[in-house]
Amino acid sequence: MKLKIVIAIGVVVVIIGALAGTKFLQIKKLTSQPYVPPPDTIASAVAHPEKWQDSFSAVGSITAVQGVTMTPEIAGTISEIAFESGAIVNKGDLLVKFDTRTEEAQLKAANAQLEWAKVSAERAHKLRTDSTVSQSELDQAEATFQQAKANADAIQAVIDKKTIRAPFTGKLGIRQVNLGEYVDAGKPIVSLQSLTPVYADFSLPQQDLSQIKTGMVVRVSMDAYTNKAFEGTLTAINPDLDSSTRSVRLQATLDNPDQLLRPGMFARIEVVLPKVDAVLVIPATAVLSAPYGDSVYLIEPSTNAPTGTNGPALIAKQQFVKLGRTRGDFVAVESGLKDGDHVVSAGLFKLRNLAPVVENNDIAPKPSEKPRPSDS
């Protein structure tokens, strides 16, 4: 019985020893080989030269060259509306007429008095030549005539103020009054805007003032027309600056023949300077900013890793660069790169120097000089 127990213990020890030895050999084999992390998936871009024209960018608003909200100077009841909402009107066209029956009756009486005063003054002139009347009587007749004429003109002015006409040619807005409505002085009746041409009003900081002058080309883009740019001319520079922001107000004029630009629209404005520079550009997403400087990751073939099925193995090598100005999603590189260099444009925050990488340019959106996000 004791022999069987000893044999059983011996078999268990042998099995445990065999398992331990096998595991030891496996661990030794694993530790003898260096660990190679899997390559990181990144997107890439190529540094390429472009011609960039200097410009100043700003935001502003579209305003009408002529634009008013028609309001009455005096109160009254509307007796006639001679326009439709959204219509095109010419200068002098009747828009709204108030009830002027009382003033017209008063005008008839005033004209009758004016006619009588005129006849009296003419008669006094004839009698004065014969010395039939005194000079004071002639002066009185002339004064009465002038007073009657002033009274008639005052009544006619009231009638004119109650007859509202278009002060210039333009496009009307939505009617805000109704026929028969009593309207107080200053109440809005309708908006009238001249849409051809229009102004683009904006501001630039004072340090740009020395490089701008009237006559420069101005490009305007709108959120409402994402694929269309409008070109105009810088026509006015404010002589004084805003003391709180140290900026100067500017105004550009755009022809707007299709009347796509409307007063009040938000606009992105670019003042184009005559200078054109040759620059080397990369996507701004390829730049890794740090307190010790800006850097990018160059994509180079690996000298140690074997060639795979998709070509040579690649590594990301950190390279410090000096950057210039930006335009949209791109940034100019002044030093550190050359034309044709491949750089990591997406996924660089997880990289380290000489890390293995795999390119997949479908993981990142394409950069643009004039980005317009679809959800903006």
Q: Given this model, what pLDDT does residue 173 score?
A: 92
What span, in angstroms and rounded, lies between the C-alpha atoms of 303 and 312?
9
Q: Percentage of the chain with pLDDT > 70?
A: 89
SS3 135: helix
- Looking at every residue in the chain, the average pLDDT score rounds to 86
Q: Coil, strand, or helix at residue 8?
A: helix
d(CA 203, CA 230): 18
Which pLDDT band holds residue 55 (cuts at 50, 70, 90)?
Answer: confident
Mean pLDDT for 356-367 is: 82
313 contacts 301 by C-beta, under 8 angstroms: yes
Distance CA 44, CA 346 (A): 7
DSSP structure string for 58-84: EEEEEEEEEEEEE--SS-EEEEEE---
pLDDT digits (tens, 9 = 90+) for 282-304: 999 889 888 888 999 998 888 76
pLDDT value for 312:
65
Top mean-pLDDT range of 4-18, 339-353, 361-375: 339-353
Q: What is the pLDDT of residue 304?
A: 66
The rounded distance, in Å, linking the Cα atoms of 179 and 182 is 9
Predicted pLDDT at 269: 93
Q: What is the dihedral of CA 32, 313, 352, 282, to 10 degrees?
A: 180
Residue 58 is which amino acid? Answer: A
pLDDT in tens, 76-110: 999 999 999 999 999 999 999 999 999 999 999 99
**CA–CA gap between residue 188 and residue 4 (Å, rounded):** 114
**What are the DSSP calls for 214-253, one per residue?**
TT-EEEEE-SSSTT-EEEEEEEEEEEEEETTTTEEEEEEE
- Low-confidence winner among 270-274, 285-289, 304-308 (lowest mean pLDDT): 304-308
**Omega before 197 cis (within 30°)?**
yes
Going from N- to C-terminal start, the domains of the chain cover: 40-51+278-359, 56-65+195-276, 76-96+164-188, 100-161
For 110-151, write each residue's pLDDT tens digit.
Answer: 989 988 888 887 777 777 777 676 777 777 878 888 898 999
pLDDT band, residue 193 (cuts 50/70/90):
very high
Phi-psi region of 55 (alpha: psi -120 to 50; beta: other; left: phi over 0): beta
Contact 376, 222 (CB under 8 A): no
Kindly report the CATH number that applies to the domain delimited by 56-65+195-276. Answer: 2.40.30.170
Mean pLDDT lowest among 9-18, 86-95, 186-195, 334-343 = 9-18
- Which of 376, 347, 351 shows the shortest CA–CA distance to 363? 347
Most confident of 54-58, 180-184, 226-230: 180-184
Question: Containing H/E element for 120?
Answer: helix 101-129
- All residues at 6 or more sequence positions from 133 whose CB lies less than 8 Å from its CB, including other chains: 124, 127
CATH of domain 40-51+278-359: 2.40.420.20
Chain segment 311-331, per-residue pLDDT in tens: 568 888 899 999 988 888 889
What is residue 108's predicted lDDT score, i.e. its pLDDT? 92
- Residues 50, 277: contact at Cβ < 8 Å? no
Give the confidence band of 30 by pLDDT, cuts at 50, 70, 90.
Answer: low
**Which token pair is 349?**
């925050």
Whole-prediction pTM: 0.64
- Torsion, Cα 94 100 106 109, to 10 degrees, reads 60
In whole angstroms, what is the distance from residue 300 CA to residue 343 CA? 9
Instruction: Say how far apart CA 321 and CA 211 lie, in whole Å.
Output: 29
Contacts of 254 (CB under 8 A, 6+ apart): 197, 198, 199, 200, 218, 220, 230, 231, 232, 261
Residue 368 in this model has a pLDDT that exceeds 80: no
Say which residue, 97 or 54, is predicted with more confidence: 97
Token pair in block for residue 142:
């002339």
Show Cβ contacts of residue 94 under 8 Å, excluding neighbours closer than 6 positions.
Answer: 80, 82, 83, 163, 164, 165
With beta carbons less than 8 A apart as the criterion, state whether 308 and 314 touch: no
Residue 188 has pLDDT above 60, yes or no: yes
Give dist(CA 211, CA 297) in Å, integer. 37
Task: For the domain made up of 100-161, give the CATH fold.
Answer: Helix Hairpins (1.10.287)
